[in-house]
Structure 1
């Protein structure tokens, strides 16, 4: 099994988006600026979606204007829900990656992007063309990748079918998303090798949502199944507000870091800036 280089994607956008109390723009920017100095491969920092859908992120443009990218190797990723959002994101030279949630649950795709699966595949194709033209890279999230709460049919064959359609369309980074925390270590060990072995030229990552009690076992299963692209958020904050009301959090970055270091991975992270981000998170998330 071919392993891609290890990449850690820190997701303050995902951590913040479901919070009801609006986080001041300057505080958002200060927090992300600290994360930019830690040494993560990518910072998932904001989104270009309707403020009615995600009011917490209505200031993404203003946050971007306050980010200091002069002393960071981290790249910025922004999430979009349609081609209009992608076209706007593509106008910012600071943004390297444009992410799009492609759900294999018809119900969730309609809830999340107001479009069905078939139309959303067309959107992905247009996004890929746009990224090629604008020097960006698309990250496609295969959401509800481990099941859904709506009763929509789910199995490995459906996951593989849509993964194949996305890869054949030109997707080079595919992140399998456990939007509601439905994955188990056994399911991760079953599904991930199936995809990485078939699509070995595609960078396949995991965006797992989880309860605190099951985070570590999922991290371990993912790593030993060949995952080298991990999405996580400091302290496991966040979740998907479009999925259901009670949010299941992200993988906790500090737990992911500890596990990877135990495996002998050289992460080369700035521990001082990481500690500063941990300290500031109490004000950001009011914990």
Structure 2
């Protein structure tokens, strides 16, 4: 066993935001709320639930305020919202009492950033420096997300130094957490190990979070590589919901229930009820009217046969 492997990890559930935003059919607000409540009761103490992007850009998330006002989760569950820019923060602060954490984001790839938010990286960072400072001044925990940290379908391998420099800039602006996103599933375990070893060394005092997609089937292998490098913070999506709207073919995040199952079988604590998350994912299948792609939805938890004399 790696001496750096954490024995307990934190998992943020991102399905209600990152997952739902990719669904083509509008999900009823009451269904979103019911699923979020189920995830909270399953022991997921961090849930990303809404985004303050323009409603015409992502109509699926246009009911974010209603969702935030209606969820009923345990008191120890931290609700996160995604803030794209200064205007988004203005709107979020109108319901300041409804959430606990705010995430800001940039792509490490210039091309992806332009396609995603129609800005250069420098333009995005100039705005987000101020946004991060405003978030922390409001007493809200600020997390930064760097998309395409491990590769970009338009530019290929993204330079590690560029990614870590962006992370340091976010930390200087007040972000207490930096998440590194494998936005289109281009990471591999070997590079992930190198990447997180470097990130943890460069960002002392900052929570370093791994966010993997399973686009090419390597999501759990990458999560294991990050764990072995010392990473103890992960993001995932129940039912393997999600993907990236830029470019096509970028399928979902690693499934929360598959990640929890792997960690529990390894003796790594998560504080999450695996049956509870599986139940929520199965309910999501009913809501969406289609089968989802996680393995644990089908197989369920590992059940060891009783020893026989």
Q: Tell me, yes or no, if structure 1 residue 14 matches structure 2 residue 18.
A: yes
Q: What is the Cα deviation at residue 114 of structure 1?
A: 2.6
Q: How big is each residue's C-alpha offset from its partner over 1:25-49, in whole Å with a ceiling of 9 and x where there is no partner?
A: 1111111111111111210111010
Q: How big is each residue's C-alpha offset from its partner over 1:51-84, in whole Å with a ceiling of 9 and x where there is no partner?
A: 2211111111111222113x34211111121111
What is the match of residue 186 of structure 1? 190
Match of 1:61 among 58, 61, 65: 65
Does the 8 Å contact 1:211/1:248 carry over to 2? yes
Q: What is the Cα deviation at residue 110 of structure 1?
A: 2.1
* Partners of 1:83 and 1:284 in 2: CA distance: 34
Does the 8 Å contact 1:90/1:131 carry over to 2? no
Q: What is the Cα deviation at residue 256 of structure 1?
A: 0.7
Q: How big is each residue's C-alpha offset from its partner over 1:214-260, in whole Å with a ceiling of 9 and x where there is no partner?
A: 2221121111111111110112111121x212232101111111111
* Partners of 2:25 and 2:32 in 1: CA distance: 13
* Partners of 1:181 and 1:5 in 2: CA distance: 25
CA change 1:286–1:115 in 2 (3 A) is: same
CA change 1:279–1:210 in 2 (3 A) is: closer
Q: What is the Cα deviation at residue 152 of structure 1?
A: 6.9
What is the match of residue 99 of structure 2? 95
What is the match of residue 160 of structure 2? 156
* Partners of 1:198 and 1:29 in 2: CA distance: 38
Unaligned runs of 5+ in 1: none
* Partners of 1:62 and 1:155 in 2: CA distance: 40
Residue pairs, 1:1-287, within 5 angstroms = 6-12=9-15, 13-69=17-73, 71-92=74-95, 93-151=97-155, 154-211=158-215, 213-241=217-245, 243-271=246-274, 273-287=276-290
* Partners of 1:67 and 1:240 in 2: CA distance: 26
Does the 8 Å contact 1:31/1:284 carry over to 2? no
What SS is found at the alignment partner of 2:100? strand
**How does the TM-score come out when normalised to structure 2?**
0.86
Does the 8 Å contact 1:87/1:130 carry over to 2? no
* Partners of 2:257 and 2:5 in 1: CA distance: 27
What SS is found at the alignment partner of 1:213? coil
Does the 8 Å contact 1:82/1:113 carry over to 2? no
For the aligned residue pairs, the C-alpha RMSD in angstroms reads: 2.1
Does the 8 Å contact 1:45/1:78 carry over to 2? yes
Q: What is the Cα deviation at residue 4 of structure 1?
A: 10
Residues paired across the two proteins, number: 285
The runs of 4+ residues in structure 1 deviating greater than 4 Å are 1-5
CA change 1:213–1:55 in 2 (3 A) is: same
* Partners of 2:115 and 2:171 in 1: CA distance: 24
* Partners of 2:275 and 2:163 in 1: CA distance: 40
Q: What is the Cα deviation at residue 182 of structure 1?
A: 0.8
What SS is found at the alignment partner of 1:129? helix
Considering only CA atoms, is the larger Rg found in Structure 1 or Structure 2? 2
Does the 8 Å contact 1:211/1:249 carry over to 2? yes
Q: What is the Cα deviation at residue 103 of structure 1?
A: 1.1
